[in-house]
């Protein structure tokens, strides 16, 4: 099971890092080695970062534990997201790096807990977490949005995902990506992004449109019309400049056209 395999690797990395940097020993002990499971470590990281005077870390950790117990797929998705970051980001050497340091990873895992709350009728608490996530990580995801597994937020700052947005599996976001509405619609008004899609920095996808599987959205593009699978679009407004049917852009992270 991926969650158990990754957790054992993370613990081995923590022991190695204590040897390399003893001054951070208590940090690695508290965050990893003293935790009983990946779920516990993940909840600890989320709670530590979302801690606030109104909602202290100990309460947020209880909410995370409740979510993981209520739906084990949440923590499993967290492990799959962790592997996605390790595989796609050349700056990430260790599995423990996203867990300990990367706010994009923390933001998506915090969203998963807020989404669980939303799905279980606890919209007030879900909104409260959404606000904390926005303030702490500069990432604003409506808790009703539906997001798959294998998600990477690279740098993450400025990512906005609207209420009725849907995101498939294995999607990579660069910073300042918006999945938004056009400003005058109600109801189902946000993009539906397929699997394997790469969303370049500063890209804005607006309206209830479909971005096909394995599409690539160039940096700074404004997309207001549907994009076919495997198409590369760039510009304002975005237009098709290439098609790569044999590639998965979100995995190779190739920013070139």
- Please report the domains of the chain, with CATH numbers, ordered by start residue: 2-138 (1.10.3130.10), 158-252 (2.160.10.10)
Look at residue 226 in the predicted model and tell me its pLDDT. Answer: 98
Taking the CA atoms of 82, 85, 88 and 93 in sequence, report the sign of the dihedral they define. Answer: negative
Look at residue 35 in the predicted model and tell me its pLDDT. Answer: 98
Q: Is the pLDDT confidence value at 256 over 90?
A: no
Mean pLDDT of 167-185: 94
Q: pLDDT of 73-101, one tens digit each?
A: 999 999 999 999 999 999 999 999 999 99
Instruction: Give the separation between CA 112 and CA 174, rounded to whole angstroms.
Output: 19
The pTM (predicted TM-score) of the whole model is 0.95
Q: pLDDT of 129-172, one tens digit each?
A: 999 999 999 999 999 999 999 999 999 999 999 999 999 999 99
Do the Cβ atoms of 126 and 115 come closer than 8 Å? yes
């Amino acid at each position: 099971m991926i969650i158990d395999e990754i957790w054992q690797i993370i613990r081995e990395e923590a022991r190695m890092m204590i040897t390399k940097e003893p001054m951070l020993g208590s940090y690695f002990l508290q965050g990893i080695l003293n935790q009983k499971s990946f779920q516990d470590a993940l909840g600890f990281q989320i709670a530590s970062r979302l801690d606030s005077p109104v909602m202290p870390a100990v309460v947020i950790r209880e909410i995370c534990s409740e979510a993981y117990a209520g739906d084990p797929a949440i923590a499993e998705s967290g492990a799959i997201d962790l592997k996605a970051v390790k595989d796609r980001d050349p700056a990430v050497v260790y599995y423990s790096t996203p867990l300990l340091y990367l706010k994009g990873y923390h933001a998506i895992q915090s969203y998963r807990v807020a989404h669980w709350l939303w799905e279980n009728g606890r919209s007030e608490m879900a909104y409260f977490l959404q606000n904390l996530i926005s303030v702490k990580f500069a990432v604003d995801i409506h808790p009703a949005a539906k997001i798959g597994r294998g998600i990477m937020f690279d740098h993450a700052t400025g990512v906005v995902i609207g209420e009725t947005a849907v995101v498939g599996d294995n999607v990579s976001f660069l910073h300042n990506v918006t999945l938004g509405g056009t400003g005058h619609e109600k109801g189902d008004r946000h993009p539906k992004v397929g699997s394997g899609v790469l969303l370049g920095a500063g890209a804005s996808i607006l309206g209830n449109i479909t971005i096909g599987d394995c599409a690539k959205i160039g940096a700074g593009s404004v997309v207001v019309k549907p994009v076919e699978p495997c198409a590369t679009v760039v510009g304002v407004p975005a237009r098709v400049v290439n098609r790569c049917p044999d590639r998965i852009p979100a995995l190779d992270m190739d920013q070139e056209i």
